[in-house]
Amino acid sequence: MWIADNWKDYEVLDTSGGEKLERWGDYILVRPDPQVIWNTPHDHKGWKNKNAHYHRSAKGGGEWEFINLPNEWSISYGSLTFNLKPFSFKHTGLFPEQAVNWDWFSDKIRKAGRPVKVLNLFAYTGGATLSAAAAGAMVTHVDASKGMVGWAKENAISSGLKDAPIRWLVDDCVKFVEREIRRGNKYDGIIMDPPSYGRGPKGEIWKIEENIWPFIELTTQILSDDALFFLINSYTTGLQPAVLSYMLNTAIRKNFGGSVTASEIGLPVSSNGLILPCGASGRWERS
């Protein structure tokens, strides 16, 4: 398992009864987590001293209970600063486990010794975008949500990357890639974090089980001849590391060489030393 263990401002304090107790900077949150199927005593003091608690509804969805939490706050990872706020369906605007991937591709960008163009698809609030830009890459950031792209821009400003070479695009990822193929544009690194289900800006429907394989095949057409890496993340239960590995081996390695690895990603739990699984990632890299 690849473990995001370099955080100072974020920590999983404890897990029990379908929930995780987290420290986000100075604030303690309790949020549901479907992986936490065990029940252990709530001995950690944070369970009683939480700042907010997201309660899952039996009918689906849920709502926040705010005890003492600001509308917005920020945390840092290295030189990057992320603005957080609680919004619908338990999220805060950041997936901390992805830091293990940020470190991986940032190292490749820094060591490349040449200009590197990176494409970040389904780019959300820009964690990967800012990591790549901070490492020296020129980044194209694509997400179908205008609000998320705006949030990512705010994170760039907070991280001192306002003037970094980042292209911000509100667009359907599939249609964008199709246009890039027609334009002949190429990228040295591609990152994608596709949702299980989603809609594009014009109502385009995305279902990962149906769309991910043809999309990976499509996206390989904009990899440069001397590409550095390709990263795909999945939070969908059916897309295990072996599935990601097979897709990358079939679509990329057989044509570009290099090597493929895939694994679960996780976060350490400070109270007991366990690792909380948080999805899976597949990586292709130039050998």
Do residue 73 and residue 108 come from a single domain? no
Strand order in the sheet with 2-3: 2-3, 259-268, 275-285, 229-234, 189-192, 117-121, 138-143, 166-170
Q: Is it the case that residue 238 has pLDDT exceeding 80?
A: no
Q: Is residue 89 part of a domain?
A: no
- Whole-number pLDDT of residue 205: 81
Check: CB of residue 185 under 8 Å from CB of residue 227: no
Q: What is the pLDDT of residue 210?
A: 85
CATH of the domain at 70: 2.60.40.1180
pLDDT over 90, % of the chain: 88
Mean pLDDT in residue range 30-41: 94
Check residue 17 and give its pLDDT: 95
Six token digits for residue 47? 């369970």
Shared domain for 212 and 267, answered yes or no, is yes
pTM for the model stands at 0.94
The count of structural domains within the chain is 2
Q: What is the CATH number of the domain that holds 239?
A: 3.40.50.150
Band (pLDDT 50/70/90 cuts) for residue 141 is very high
Strand segments, DSSP code E, in 78-125 are 80-84, 117-121
**Same structural domain, 74 and 144:** no
Query: What's the domain range around 218?
Result: 96-285
Assigned domain for 208 exists = yes
- Alpha helices, DSSP H, located in 159-253: 173-183, 208-219, 241-248
Residue with tokens 């486990």: 97
Do 121 and 149 share a structural domain? yes
Residues 29 and 139 in one domain: no
Q: What is the pLDDT of residue 235?
A: 85
* Assigned domain for 138 exists: yes
Judge whether 127 and 106 are in contact, CB under 8 Å. Answer: no
Residue 252, pLDDT above cutoff 90: yes
Helix (H) or strand (E) holding 3: strand 2-3
Residue 203 has pLDDT above 90, yes or no: no
Output phi, psi for 222, to 5 deg.
-110, 15
Residues 47 and 162 in one domain: no
Mean pLDDT score of the chain, rounded to an integer?
A: 95
175 found inside a domain: yes
Q: Is the pLDDT of residue 246 over 80?
A: yes
pLDDT reported for residue 154: 98
Integer Cα distance of 1 and 101 in angstroms: 12
Q: Please determine, for residue 80, whether its predicted confidence score (pLDDT) is greater than 90.
A: yes
pLDDT category, 207, cuts 50, 70, 90? confident
Residue 267 has pLDDT above 90, yes or no: yes
